[in-house]
Amino acid sequence: MIKLENVSKGYSEGKVLHTILSGVNLNINKGEIVILYGKSGSGKSTLLNLLAGIDLPDEGSIFFEDVNITALSEKERTLFRRKRIGFIFQFFNLIPTLTVSENLKLPLELNSMPFKKADEILGEVGLLDRINAYPDVLSGGEQQRVAIARALIHNPDFILADEPTGNLDFDTSKQIIDLIDRIVKQQGKTMIMATHSKDVMGLADRVLTLKDDKFIEMN
């Protein structure tokens, strides 16, 4: 379903190359929820950005089913991401000048999908009463619920999440974990989530720990 073959990525600083990921091989099955666990700076966001096609690896290939995204042009990767991937960020990344409803209509418009889906999904995340609010009047938890709605609204097969509870207090994190459990898991989506919080581990089918540029499977 998602397959990483010998993926390496580093960043150069002057003449020094810092290896972040080295020879990573991974297979993620359809419907699996995989957690990438690792301390800050270990390369979790780097890997998610490669999966999202935002960045390219230095070496290796990444397949989503039969699509090798590392062989696509930047424009093709953008189109693939827009259609097939939903991305949930730590800091929500809602557009501050757009209302909740408008933030959700943007991915619908980009995918030529009907706007009525915005109301449906806001009902699912329990935010129909905030439809005309701007992000800055919402709590962190509410903003993340909108961001989850936005990540799911175009019905992508793959959900990527980068520390989605990293900026929330314990109780709010729990609500967000429950929401992800309810929506993502029960819709059978494939999800890869980076975290350094043990609280979200219960969601996972598999936890992969990132250590010294490799993944170690935890059982």
Binding site for ligand ADP (CB under 6 A): 11, 20, 38, 40-46
Residue 73 touches which of Mg ion, ligand ADP, none (Cβ within 5-8 Å per kind): none
Residue 38 touches which of Mg ion, ligand ADP, none (Cβ within 5-8 Å per kind): ligand ADP
- Binding mask 144-183 toward Mg ion (x if CB under 5 A, else -) reads ----------------------------------------
Q: Which is nearer to Mg ion, 45 or 143 (CB)?
A: 45
Is residue 45 a contact residue for Mg ion (CB under 5 A)? Answer: yes
CA distance 197 to 136: 26
CA distance 30 to 217: 18
Per DSSP, helices labelled H in the chain are: 44-51, 74-84, 100-110, 116-124, 140-152, 170-180, 186
Q: In terms of DSSP bridges, do strands 33-37 and 206-211 run parallel, antiparallel, or are they unpaired? A: parallel
Candidate ranges 37-45, 112-120, 165-173, 197-205; the one touching Mg ion (CB under 5 A)? 37-45
Q: Which residues does 39 contact at the CB level (< 8 Å), separation at least 6?
A: 196
Q: Using CB under 5 A as the criterion, which residues of the chain lie in contact with Mg ion when the complex forms?
A: 44-45
